[in-house]
């Protein structure tokens, strides 16, 4: 499974292929801009920021709206706009 983060032009900026614990940090493995393999680390101090971002009002509202976005895209017969 992979997560592709795209730019406003639709080109892949980052592809996350793995998130795993490494010591006291989270190791995020992927490719930057389709060319550079990279390993990035989220420290315990920064992890709290990730949690706050994940539970921000915008993300929660998107999560609640997602079933309707998915149904709308199925009726239009198109891929979900990223």
Q: What is the pLDDT of residue 80?
A: 55
Reported as a single tens digit per residue, the pLDDT across 14-57 is 999 999 999 999 999 999 987 889 999 999 999 999 999 999 99
Contact criterion met (CB below 8 Å) for 57 and 64: no
The rounded distance, in Å, linking the Cα atoms of 6 and 71 is: 22
0.95 exceeded by pTM = no
Task: Tell me whether strands 3-6 and 12-22 are parallel, antiparallel or unpaired.
Answer: antiparallel
Reported as a single tens digit per residue, the pLDDT across 62-80 is 999 999 999 988 888 655 5
């Amino acid at each position: 499974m992979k997560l592709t983060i795209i730019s406003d032009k639709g080109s892949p900026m980052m592809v996350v292929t793995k998130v795993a614990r490494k010591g006291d940090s989270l190791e995020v493995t992927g490719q930057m801009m389709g060319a550079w393999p990279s390993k990035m680390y989220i420290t315990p101090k920064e992890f709290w920021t990730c949690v706050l971002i994940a539970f921000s009002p915008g993300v929660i509202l998107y999560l609640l709206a997602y079933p309707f976005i998915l149904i709308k895209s199925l009726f239009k017969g198109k891929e979900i706009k990223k």
